[in-house]
Amino acid sequence: MPATIPREPVRASVSISGRCLSYLDFGGPGPVLFALHGHFGEARTFARLARRLAPDWRVVALDQRGHGYSDQPSDFSRNGYVEDAAAVLRHLGLGPVVVLGHSMGGVNAYQLAFRHPRLIRAMVIEDIGADVDGDLSFCLAWPHRAPTRSALLEALGASAAHLADAVREYGDGWGLAFRPDAMAASQRELNGSHWLAWLGSRCPALLVRGSRSSVLRAEHARAMADRRPGTRLVELPAGHTVHETDPEGFAAAVRTFLRGLVPPPRPARQPDIPLPPATPAG
């Protein structure tokens, strides 16, 4: 019988150094695509991509620290983000995988490939550069709580269209799944040069740029592709969130790239690490 794919992804969590890291497993028999969202996002942003890649690829998407259903950390350094991802992969025995990252998650993805090459066999980087200089202080004006969902969305203004997955109902009203001050702090940690990590890995890479993006300039994307062997650059008619603005084009570009990869090697035996088993997350 052909393998079946769950109608809804399975949400579970692992405990890393006493913190909960939640993830969605979209299921399926194929090799794993490990997905990392950007600031303000969470694992569910990759639901449409998972459906388009199934059943050939099994998407496992992480709610990164301070986002979604994962716990709030004490810091938002690259080391913290990257070691979270590596620990989850090792705990679940998933490596080597293809890692996909959008924006901040893209930097985390190529940093992960650089620091833990045995866990990553290829990467897809969505609309983020090797030099990063952003400012998320605008989000500090967003309300902490609102009496209703509609009131919260109205207060978020034009940003509401990009934050639907992050809206939550709490005991004291409606709010977001992250702390805006934490997002601003995380962006400050992200800013800087990441060329060493970008050029330091050897796995195949797909760099996707939105042609209307104000985050990744065309000339910078071309320099990233030209300077790193094994990197393919694709531009799509979209803004910064290519996977949302042009979901069909994005999925097609990712699928084409994945089809060109050699079959995954037999998983190497990973050393045991002292982590408890995954548990369902609420």
DSSP string for residues in 180-229? HHHHHHHHHHH-EE-HHHHHH--S-EEEEEETT-SSS-HHHHHHHHHHST
d(CA 258, CA 85): 21
Half-sphere exposure (Cβ direction) of 75: Cα atoms closer than 13 Å: 9
Q: Which of 206, 207, 259 is nearest to 53 (CA)?
A: 259
Place of tokens 């099994």: 58
Element (H, E) at 236: strand 231-236
How high does pLDDT run on average in the chain?
91
pLDDT at 167: 95
Phi, psi dihedrals of residue 15, rounded to the nearest 5°: -105, 120
**Interstrand relation of 19-25 and 58-62 (parallel, antiparallel or unpaired):** antiparallel
pLDDT at 230: 97
Element (H, E) at 13: strand 10-16
Rounded mean pLDDT, 207-218: 98
pLDDT at 7: 64
pLDDT at 17: 86
Structural domains present in the chain:
10-132+191-262+275-280 (3.40.50.1820), 135-190 (no CATH)
Residue 277 reports pLDDT greater than 90: no
Tokens standing for residue 251: 């999925």
User: What tens digit of pLDDT does each residue of 81-123 get?
Assistant: 999 999 999 999 998 999 999 999 999 999 999 999 999 999 9
Element (H, E) at 105: helix 104-115
pLDDT at 280: 38
pLDDT at 5: 53
Could you give the percent of the chain with pLDDT greater than 90?
86
Q: How many CB atoms lie under 10 A from the CB of residue 154? A: 12
Q: Which of 263, 249, 243 is nearest to 125 (CA)?
A: 243
pLDDT at 39: 97
Residue 1 reports pLDDT greater than 80: no
Residue 79 reports pLDDT greater than 60: yes
Enumerate residues 6+ apart whose C-beta is below 8 A from 214. Answer: 239, 240
User: What tens digit of pLDDT does each residue of 134-192 get?
Assistant: 999 999 999 999 999 999 999 999 999 889 889 999 999 999 999 999 999 999 999 99
d(CA 281, CA 12): 5
The amino acid present at 59, given as its one-letter code, is: V
Enumerate residues 6+ apart whose C-beta is below 8 A from 39. Answer: 67, 103, 104, 136, 183, 186, 187
